[in-house]
Structures are given as C-alpha cells and as structure tokens.
Structure 1
C-alpha cells in the first residue's frame, strides 16, 4: 500500500483540509458527544480529531507515521496521540465509546480484518469513510501533458479488495462483522490551493507524490511544467475547484 513515510508536513499543508470535509457527516451520524470517548484511527495530523474535541468528544488519535504524529502534537497539543496501526490496535476490547477511521480502510492491506479491529475496540459505535470519487483526473492530465505514463496504482489481491461504492463498502463492512451498517454518499467541492497541491507532490503524498518522487530530473521538470499549465487553465480566483465524493458508514453493536 502507499508509503506515507516522512509526509506529515506536506500532508498537513495540503490534503488534510480535504479529508476533514467528512467531519460534519461523521459528527451527525455519531450523535451528541455527551462527554463520550472517541478513537480516531489513522488520525494523521490531527485535524479531524480536533474537530471532534471542538464538538465535545473526549478524542484520542492513533497514527503509525512519526511525522504525522509530530505535526499533530505541534498543532493540536490538546489531543492524545498514540502510535498504532491496523489491523492490530494497542487498545483493549471496547475501550472507546466510538471509533472512527476516516479514509483509512481504502489504504490498508486487509480491509475486512481492519474493519473488524475497529469493531473490537468500540463499546458502541463505529464509523468509517472511503473515497468513491476523487479528482485523480488532475494528476492524469498532468501526466498526459508531460508525456509521462501515469502509475496504475497498487491494487489489493482480489480476495482482499472490495468495490469502492456505497454498496460495495456496505458489503465489505458486513463481511467484517458490522451489523446493518448505514452507508451514504456525500459530495463536496474542495477549493485547493495550487502551491499546497504542488507541495504534496514534492512531499511524496499519495499516489501522485510517490510517482513524482520516482521520476528522474527531466521527468520532474516536465511534470512541474504540466502542473503549472493545468492549474493556470483550471483555477478560479487562484484556486482549483475539485469535486470529491465519499462513502460514510456508521454502525452500532450495543
């Protein structure tokens, strides 16, 4: 799966603001906090966990990547952040009232085992999100203009993978033991800052960042020039409007 090593700062300055776009939907699905405890698995740089704290949850983060945890501790010192990764979390059974994994199950090597682990450490509610549509066209177009062959991306073995749709996500979660998960799709436009997007590529964030890191100097120059060209054409008032969709799931096992 994707290598996130050393990407904490670049992620915080770019895609963190995109991924927190599910916060409102998750908060609505989990209900009133009433001082309950919540674990944010794959908490990254802490922006989503901070949203839960602001809403009244007693939130803890869990993140395996050291530079992500470093940024989280710098920018959100009020949040406890533990080192740990799916599918084996360093917590007791039913330790938290609610457990959330935001855009995590689309990155793990065993989605069903990982979804089952979320269930294990929850006493009540579990929630998770995956991408159903993201503007990967942007980076494909950059590659086309740069005359570069885009990476196909790493895929799970068929027996581990699942369909990245609302129904496919629901079926996978059911296989993992979630009881009657409620799954819906949300769509929003992320107004992206072009310099921050470029910083994500240089910083090795996601598939585009890993592709850029693997290029030689000539390839990087071509990729950069094509990125500037696409942004010049697509930007509105200096920002790139990028439409995203995500499947958001919640279940209870009381």
Structure 2
C-alpha cells in the first residue's frame, strides 16, 4: 500500500479539500449532530474533522501519520487529535456514537478487519467511503503523455481484494460484519489549483508523488511538462475542474 510518511503539509495544501467533498452526503446520511460524538479515523490534516465539529459533533480525530497529526493540530487546535492505526484503535468498545473512515478502507492491508474495528468502537453508526473514480485518472494521463513507466500499484492479498464499486464495497462491508447498510455513489467536481496539485507531486503525496520521487532528472522534467500541458488544456478561470466519484456506505446503529 502507499507510504504516506512525511506528506502532511503537501496533502493539506492539495487533496485535503478534495477528500472533504463527501461531507454533504455523509452529513445527510448521519442526520443531526446534536448531543452526539464521532471519531474520524484516518483523519489526515483534520479538514473533515473540523467540518464535523462545525456541524455540532463532539469530534475525536485519529490519525497514524505524524506529519498529518502535526498539520491537524496546527490548523485545528480545538480538535482532539490522537495517534491510532487500523485495525487496532486505541479506544474501548462502543466508545463513540459514530465512527467515520473517509477514503481509508482503500488504503489498508485488510479492509475487512479495519471495517470490523470501526464497528467495534461505535455504539451507533459506521460511515465509510472509497474512491470509485479517484485522482489517479488524471495522473495516468500525465504519465502517458510524459512517456514514463508507471509504478506498479500496491496490491491487496487476493482474499482481501474487493470490487471498487458501490456493490462491491457493500459486499465487503457485509463480510466484515456491518449490517443494514445504505450505500450511495457521490460524484462531484473539484476545482483544483494546478499549483496545489503540483505541490502534492513534489511533496510525495499518493501514487503520483511516489512515481515522481522515483524518477531521474530528465524524466521529472518530462513529467512536469506533461502536467503543465494537460493542465493548460483543461483549465477554466485558472482552476482545473476534475470529476471524482466515491461510494459512501453507512451502517445502522446497533
């Protein structure tokens, strides 16, 4: 799986805003926040955790990566942020009304064990999302234009793999022990700053960042030129309108 070590600042400047695009659908699925608490697992730089808090949730942010936690504490000091990694979270059984994992189960080695752990720490609902159309489609085009060899993606063990569709996500969660699931697919357009996207690459974020870090100087130059070309073809009013989709699933309370 991808190595997220050291990317907190670059992630916060780029993809944090994209990943928060699931908030409206998640909020509608969970209902009113009044009097309820929530743990945001894999909370990154705290962007989504802070948004939950603004809605009235009592929020605990839980994130394994040190630089992500540092960004969260710097940007959102009012949010309690703790170290913790799936599938073994530092909480008691049924500690929270809701457990959230936004674009987390697609980054762990054992999605079913991770989902079962979310179920364990929640006395109410579990809500989670995965990409059905991730940012990788843009970088695949840039990689092809640059004429560089893409990195081989990390693969789950065959018994851990699942189909990245709403139906496949639902099946995997049921196998993990979650019941009474409501699953929706959410598509939205992220208007990205090209400069922020390039920051993510130089900062080592996700697959594109890992690929760039592996390249020699000449290939890096070709990759940057290809990115600038693709961005120039798509930009509208200085921003890149990029379509993404996610499957979002919520389980009923116990």
1:125 is aligned to 2:120: no
Compute the displacement of 1:34 (Å). 1.4
Q: Deviations over 1:136-158 (max 9, x none)?
A: 23212211221112223111111
Counterpart-to-counterpart distance in 2, 1:229 and 1:21: 26
Counterpart-to-counterpart distance in 2, 1:232 and 1:23: 29
Q: Residues 36-55 of structure 1: matches in 2 within 5 Å?
A: 36-55=36-55
1:190 is aligned to 2:223: no
Considering only aligned residues, what root-mean-square deviation do their CA atoms show, in Å?
0.9
Counterpart-to-counterpart distance in 2, 1:253 and 1:158: 31
Answer yes or no: is the 8 Å Cα contact 2:182–2:250 preserved in 1: yes
Matched position secondary structure for 1:118: helix
Aligned to 1:145: 145
Query: Which runs of structure 1 show a deviation greater than 3 angstroms over 4 or more consecutive aligned residues?
Result: none
Structure 1: state its 5+ residue gaps: none
Matched position secondary structure for 1:178: coil
Counterpart-to-counterpart distance in 1, 2:135 and 2:209: 15
Q: Deviations over 1:35-57 (max 9, x none)?
A: 21100000000000001100000
Aligned to 2:60: 60
Answer yes or no: is the 8 Å Cα contact 1:44–1:63 preserved in 2: yes
Aligned to 1:22: 22
Q: TM-score, normalised by structure 1?
A: 0.98
Compute the displacement of 1:135 (Å). 4.2
Compute the displacement of 1:180 (Å). 2.0
Aligned to 1:167: 167
Aligned to 1:219: 219
Aligned to 2:106: 106
Compute the displacement of 1:108 (Å). 0.3
Aligned to 1:73: 73
Answer yes or no: is the 8 Å Cα contact 1:64–1:84 preserved in 2: yes
Q: Deviations over 1:50-69 (max 9, x none)?
A: 01100000000000000000
Counterpart-to-counterpart distance in 2, 1:112 and 1:89: 14
Counterpart-to-counterpart distance in 1, 2:123 and 2:187: 30
Q: Deviations over 1:194-243 (max 9, x none)?
A: 00000000001000100101111111111111111111111111111110
Q: TM-score, normalised by structure 2?
A: 0.98
Answer yes or no: is the 8 Å Cα contact 2:142–2:223 preserved in 1: yes
Answer yes or no: is the 8 Å Cα contact 2:38–2:96 preserved in 1: yes
Counterpart-to-counterpart distance in 1, 2:72 and 2:79: 8
Answer yes or no: is the 8 Å Cα contact 1:179–1:253 preserved in 2: no
Compute the displacement of 1:253 (Å). 3.6
Answer yes or no: is the 8 Å Cα contact 1:202–1:212 preserved in 2: yes
User: Would you say how many aligned residue pairs link Structure 1 and Structure 2?
Assistant: 254
Counterpart-to-counterpart distance in 2, 1:194 and 1:34: 38
Counterpart-to-counterpart distance in 1, 2:192 and 2:110: 31
Structure 2: state its 5+ residue gaps: none
